[in-house]
Chains A and B, each alone.
Chain A
Amino acid sequence: MRGALFLGWRYLAHHRFKTAVLLSAVTLMIFLPAATRLLVADSALALTARADHTPLLIGAKGSQLELVLNALYFHAERPPEITSQLLEEVRETGLATAIPLNTRFQARGAPIVGTSLDYFSFRGLDLAAGRMMGLLGECVIGANVARSQNVGVGDSLVSSPETVFDLAGVYPLKMNIAGVLEPSGSADDDAVFVDVRTTWVIQGLGHGHQDLEKAGAGNAVLTRNEKAITANASLVQYNEITADNVREFHFHGDTSGFPLSAVIAVPNDAKSSTLLRGRFQNGDIDGQLVLPRTVLGNLLETVFTVQNYVILGLVMLSLATIAVITLVFLLSQQLRHGEFQTLKRMGASRGFVSTLVASELGFVFLGSLLLAAALTWGARNYATEFLLSFMTL
């Protein structure tokens, strides 16, 4: 037995290329279906876990999936906006805690999430350093943002302009980093959190400039009368909110008409949840209320169906591979007839020769199994996040 195993091992080691091809073929045969199933299962678990912790989501009427993916992962296409009046309406019902979300903007590729402090306690996010955002223009960043952009408390991030050709549009705002969150293994790690009013400043709905009534503003005054002061183009506009100029920032118009992407509603209890859903169904409140778990459940049904077809295809491919490997193996046995005869003439039994052949197959399958396991482990560690981001794009 030991001798047959030794010869089998030496044969495989000598025919390295042939062994490597066999190992690769069998490894892929094992790895692909297993990894597909595991990765999809892991991704589904991650998807549903976040959805499970988000009881109700309110947004503008339109694609439910887009709304859920945007509100949960900040990645998806931007859903139609709602106004902050809807936020107030939900709050006024007294049935749920309403958390605003405004996810329109980005800073160096990271989504800027305009929200309230309730969001952090709702998601169970803790600070690794610094403090929560207190002033307009301050931000708290996720762990991955801090690591990938090499920034921390005291540094700053600048919001990305939406388009350089839109002169009247969104201007970059320099945001000071007040805190860095502990890693949570969720989309929150990749986000930049600001107060929802900061996103309105980024959008140009609020702004700050020098006080024309103060001394020294003379050059910026175009006309002045009892009712109004009109500034000229030399008026200094602030692109950073500081303790010194925060008082100069103000919003024009009614903030209840300002935009939000979605509102997370955390009902007080099951009854409140039912009542709130009823309000939306009756049309008492405009917009749509969705259960993220149900919406993602529908998405996952499609994903699992696709997965089953993919696995079926892989199984068919595996059967073809097995057929080819068998053919190669049988041809190889014919070529090795002389070698087997020598072994028998030297004193080897048929069982010895069979064990030798079986050991070669065994080594290849064992090696492939270990390789496939290592690849699957790697894929689960590194590809699940990729697959999740792909699914939530």
Chain B
Amino acid sequence: MAEIHINGLGFQYPGSRAFAMAVSELHVMAGECVAIVGPSGSGKTTLLSLVAGTLLPDSGEIRVGQTLINQLGETARRRFRIRDIGQVFQAFELLEYLDVTENILLGPIIDSAVNEQLRERAAALLSSVGLEDKAHTKPARLSHGERQRVAVCRAMLNRPGLILADEPTGNLDQANKQNVVDLLIKQARDNGSTLMMVTHDHSLLGSFERVIDFEELTGASA
């Protein structure tokens, strides 16, 4: 479990004067399932990228558990992304040339750290979402719902303390949206992980323990 603490965060994309983001304070408790809502283009994805260490803030600090993300070097931040957090992307971003198991193991593959334990963990995750017979199937042969579950399994592989989900329901119908959210929350709770999910779909918010309005958070609505 990892709590998130953001303090005095300031960020602007290099060369861009149009976009600037400031978060004075955000605290997400360990094991909490939080939804961040806000209109498209408001910076929700950027906030997740900053928490994941993909982007570095211009000012302030981001702490995940005991780790001060903005003070880590590039290699340490990459390692942090691979080992300590799980990510679910908007279009699931499964690699078409890898089978289901390999997609779940993508993080350790990048880290050259695939081992038998991780393979067993991947198989167990697949089994937990009812995809044990699809272990060697390519994503192109999976239904949309099956891909969602594979993406969630990939995020859960390392039993991460934090799961970051970037609008994973963006292109889905209502039934599938709720399925993904339910699956994410279930897996996060089973694993004791903190879940931070970005969405602009207000119909899903009832499933979360807390909803953060991104515009209020950044003061953009004022």
Contacts and interface: CB of A to CB of B under 8 A. Distances in A.
Interface of A: 1-3, 6-7, 10-11, 13-15, 338-339, 342-349, 352
Given A2-B112, A339-B95, A342-B95, A347 B78 contact: yes
B222 interface: no
A15 B112 contact: no
A339 B89 CA distance: 12
B216 interface: no
B16 interface: no
Contact of A14 (B74, B110, B112, B138): B138
A11 B107 CA distance: 17
Interface in B95-130: 95-98, 102, 106-112, 114
B82 interface: yes
A345 B96 contact: no
B95 A3 contact: no
Given A1-B112, A10-B102, A11-B97, A346 B75 contact: no
B109 A345 contact: no
A347 B97 contact: no
B81 interface: yes
Contacts of A14: 96-97, 138
A344 B97 contact: no
B69 interface: no
B79 interface: yes
Interface in B26-40: none
Interface string B55-77: 00000000000000000001100
Nearest to A2: B112
A1 B111 CA distance: 9
5 A-B pairs with least C-beta separation: A14-B97, A347-B82, A347-B81, A342-B93, A2-B112
Contacts of B193: none
A347 B98 contact: no
B52 interface: yes
Q: Which of B75, B87, B93 has the most CB of A within 10 A?
A: B93
6 contacts: A1-B112, A7-B95, A343-B110, A346-B107, A347-B110, A348-B78
A345 B138 contact: no
Contacts of A3: 108-112, 114
Nearest to B81: A347
B12 interface: no
B107 A7 contact: no
Contacts of A344: 54
Contact of B87 (A6, A339, A346): A346
A114 to B, nearest CB: 68
B81 A15 contact: no
A338 B107 contact: no
A342 B98 CA distance: 14
Contacts of B93: 338, 342, 345
Contact of A347 (B79, B95, B96, B102): B79
A345 B78 contact: no
A6 B97 CA distance: 11
Contacts of A347: 78-82, 107, 110-111
A346 B106 contact: yes
Q: Which of B79, B97, B98 has the most CB of A within 10 A?
A: B97
A91 B96 CA distance: 82
Given A15-B97, A344-B54, 6 more contacts: A338-B93, A339-B95, A342-B89, A345-B89, A346-B87, A346-B107
Q: Which of B74, B109, B111 has the most CB of A within 10 A?
A: B109
Nearest to A356: B110
Contacts of A349: 74-75, 78
Nearest to B91: A338
B112 A10 contact: no
B111 A13 contact: no
B82 A346 contact: yes
Contacts of B78: 347-349
Contacts of A10: 97-98, 102
A346 B97 contact: no
Nearest to A352: B110
A345 B81 contact: yes
A351 B189 CA distance: 36
A362 to B, nearest CB: 17
B119 to A, nearest CB: 14
Contacts of B97: 7, 10-11, 13-15
A13 B95 CA distance: 13
Contacts of B95: 7, 339, 342
A352 B107 CA distance: 12
Q: Which of A14, A347, A349 has the most CB of B within 10 A?
A: A347
A348 B110 contact: yes
A2 B114 CA distance: 10
B200 to A, nearest CB: 20
A218 B138 CA distance: 96
A142 B107 CA distance: 67
A22 to B, nearest CB: 15
B212 to A, nearest CB: 22
A37 to B, nearest CB: 38
Nearest to B96: A14
Nearest to B113: A3
Nearest to B48: A345
A338 B90 CA distance: 12
